[in-house]
Amino acid sequence: DAGVIQSPRHEVTEMGQEVTLRCKPISGHDYLFWYRQTMMRGLELLIYFNNNVPIDDSGMPEDRFSAKMPNASFSTLKIQPSEPRDSAVYFCASSMGLAGSTDTQYFGPGTRLTVL
Amino acid sequence: GQNIDQPTEMTATEGAIVQINCTYQTSGFNGLFWYQQHAGEAPTFLSYNVLDGLEEKGRFSSFLSRSKGYSYLLLKELQMKDSASYLCAVRDGDAGKSTFGDGTTLTVKP
């Protein structure tokens, strides 16, 4: 398996623009997670899905952020409008199941977002 | 909620042994994970503990004491490539949700 795939790997945009990050989880994994990592705040969970359904979005910072998972092999994280404080590395991760070591999360390579 | 504490930085010598501690306070507990993250890369899974005791996996071992809210990652025979950030993550009662500590940056010197 190719692992979790994210695109783009790098994104530089200007404040106010819309940004869309994409993720393809590992086939057969029922859970998908979106994280944001910064030096100041570390690795933060934004939202996660189970079988394409959003379960917990309490980590989404504000209404400018939205995430969708239209099918088992694709998810997007959208920021509209973007702000400089959104600059971070955004990771997508997936895991197989609910209990034990099957909850091991496999991370994608991340998208490094810079908002000018 | 979760509160996870790890030392910010550690330094050790190639060939030595290092122990990275993690303490946590949780409203529920359903497993503890250790991840390794090299600079500029994604976190990768190292170990998982849900019961008290030691889990050994090659040069890496992880220990858990649920009553003390304490875990450690033990790295033996350190190599230069072990220089990385080590993240402790605790899964709460909600099986899908893990909270990550800020990570411990380990520098291995010759």
Average pLDDT over residues B49-66: 94
A103: confidence class by pLDDT, cuts 50, 70, 90:
confident
CA distance A114 to A116: 6
Residue A100: predicted pLDDT? 65
Proportion of chain A above pLDDT 90, given as a percent = 81
Residue in A with minimal Cα distance to B91: A103
Chain B hits for A50, CB-CB cut-off 8 Å, are 96
The beta strands (E) that lie in chain B are given as 2-5, 9-13, 18-26, 32-37, 44-49, 53-57, 60-65, 70-75, 84-91, 98-100, 104-109
CB-closest option in A99, A103, A110 to B42 = A110
Q: By the CB < 8 Å criterion, does B61 face chain A?
A: no
Mean pLDDT, to the nearest integer, of B66-92? 95
Q: Find out whether B106 and B12 touch, Cβ atoms under 8 Å.
A: yes
User: How are beta strands A111-115 and A10-13 bridged, if at all?
Assistant: parallel
Q: Do A108 and B87 touch (CB under 8 A)?
A: no
For B6-32, the pLDDT digits (tens) are 999 999 999 999 999 999 998 788 889
What is the pLDDT, as a whole number, of residue B95? 56
Across-strand partners of A78? A20, A66
pLDDT digits (tens, 9 = 90+) for A60-84: 988 999 999 999 999 999 999 999 9
User: Which pLDDT belongs to residue A98?
Assistant: 60
Tokens at B12, concatenated: 């050790």
pLDDT value at residue B79: 97
Interface of A with B (CB under 8 A): 31, 42-45, 48, 50, 55-56, 91, 98-101, 103-110
> What pLDDT was estimated at residue B98?
83
Contacts of A42 in chain B (CB under 8 A): 100-103
Residue A92 has pLDDT above 70, yes or no: yes
Is residue A43 over pLDDT 70?
yes
Query: Which segment of A5-9, A96-100, B6-10, B62-66 scores lowest on mean pLDDT?
Result: A96-100
Task: Find the angle CA(A92)-CA(A98)-CA(A102) to the nearest 5 degrees.
Answer: 70
Confidence of residue B92 (pLDDT cuts 50, 70, 90): confident
* Chain A residues within 8 A of B94 when measuring between CB atoms: 56
Q: What pLDDT is recorded for position B96?
A: 61
Compute φ and ψ for A57, nearest 5 degrees: -115, 20
**B43's tokens:** 């976190």
Q: How much is the pLDDT for B30?
A: 85
